[in-house]
């Protein structure tokens, strides 16, 4: 039996969780299946110059922190996209230095996210979380080596991600619950059904992806 892997959640549940804790990494006892991602969400509205970067680096280096994020770009937010890009870039640099992947929040800014990856020659895996966009953007992200994480939206039959799920190579796929109340097992069941895979086989493959992208970072 392989565990469920929930690659981006704000409320950890069953299986292995990459728990987005912002900058508040819990101290003391945590579940052995709980790992953390630390990041500054673009909607927080922080400026790059306001961040204590040496403190941030210390957090990123913490043992159970397996990723930086969620961070990224969001066009719905009024703040200048250039300012968001500076904040995102610095976080991507911290991830690169620590040898950890990045969990990315992107809204109407995928070309800029791809351009950032290219311009910085970033090499650590970048995972687009909550993907629900069109075929063309999916193809571009895959071409540039991104991993794609799908959430509860895939349970909605006519959603983009539900229709495109089969276009994501299994070795680049992750599943997540984000801030939804839907359990990770429901998301897996929906994905297994759409993809025509046995649940256990899907769990095994995504667990292998987790080991490739995240778990290898745990010292």
Selection from 192, 109, 113 nearest residue 145 by Cα: 113
Phi, psi dihedrals of residue 125, rounded to the nearest 5°: -60, 140
Q: Compute the least distance from the CB of residue 198 to Zn ion, in Å.
A: 29
DSSP 206: H
- Determine the size of the site formed for Zn ion (CB under 5 A): 1
Quick one: 17 or 158, whose CB is closer to Zn ion?
17
Residue 176 makes contact with Zn ion by CB under 5 A: no
Phi, psi dihedrals of residue 173, rounded to the nearest 5°: -100, 140
178, 191, 203, 209: which one binds Zn ion (CB under 5 A): 178
Assigned token pair, 13: 């549940």
Selection from 200, 192, 156, 158 nearest residue 175 by Cα: 192
Question: Peptide bond before 70: cis, by omega within 30 degrees of 0?
Answer: yes
Q: Degrees (nearest 5) of the Cα angle 105, 108, 112?
A: 80
Q: Compute the least distance from the CB of residue 201 to Zn ion, in Å.
A: 27
Applying CB under 5 A, the span of 60-68, 90-98, 118-126, 170-178 interacting with Zn ion comes to 170-178
**Strands 16-20 and 34-38, bridge-based pairing:** parallel
Helix pair 184-195, 199-213: axis angle to 10 deg: 110
Quick one: 149 or 209, whose CB is closer to Zn ion?
149
Of all residues in the shown chain, the one whose CB is closest to Zn ion is: 178
Q: Compute the least distance from the CB of residue 42 to Zn ion, in Å.
A: 12
Q: Compute the least distance from the CB of residue 103 to Zn ion, in Å.
A: 8
Applying CB under 5 A, the span of 82-90, 96-104, 138-146, 177-185 interacting with Zn ion comes to 177-185
Quick one: 7 or 60, whose CB is closer to Zn ion?
7
Quick one: 112 or 178, whose CB is closer to Zn ion?
178
Chain positions 25 to 64 lying near Zn ion, rule: CB under 5 A, are none
Quick one: 107 or 199, whose CB is closer to Zn ion?
107
Q: Compute the least distance from the CB of residue 36 to Zn ion, in Å.
A: 13
**Which ranges constitute the DSSP H helices of 20-178?**
53-61, 81-98, 110-120, 135-143, 160-164
Q: Compute the least distance from the CB of residue 20 to Zn ion, in Å.
A: 5
Assigned token pair, 188: 């897996």
Quick one: 132 or 197, whose CB is closer to Zn ion?
132
List residues binding Zn ion (CB under 5 A): 178
């Amino acid at each position: 039996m392989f565990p469920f892997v929930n690659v981006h959640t704000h409320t950890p549940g069953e299986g292995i969780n990459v728990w987005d804790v912002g900058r508040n990494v819990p101290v003391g006892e945590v579940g052995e299946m709980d790992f953390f991602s630390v990041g500054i969400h673009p909607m927080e509205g922080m400026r790059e110059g306001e961040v204590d970067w040496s403190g941030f680096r210390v957090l990123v280096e913490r043992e159970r922190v397996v990723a930086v994020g969620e961070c990224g770009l969001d066009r719905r937010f009024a703040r200048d996209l250039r300012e968001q890009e500076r904040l995102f870039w610095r976080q991507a640099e911290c991830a690169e230095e620590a040898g950890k992947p990045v969990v990315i929040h992107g809204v109407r800014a995928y070309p800029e996210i791809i351009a950032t990856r290219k311009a910085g020659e970033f090499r650590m895996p970048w995972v687009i979380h909550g993907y629900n966009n069109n075929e063309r953007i999916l193809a571009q992200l895959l071409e540039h080596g991104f991993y794609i994480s799908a959430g509860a939206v895939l349970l909605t039959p006519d959603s983009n991600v539900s229709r495109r799920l089969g276009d994501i190579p299994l070795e680049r796929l992750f599943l997540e619950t984000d801030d939804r109340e839907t359990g990770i097992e429901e998301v897996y069941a929906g994905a297994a059904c759409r993809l025509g895979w046995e649940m256990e086989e899907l769990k095994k493959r995504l667990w292998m992806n987790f080991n490739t992208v995240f778990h290898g970072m745990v010292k």
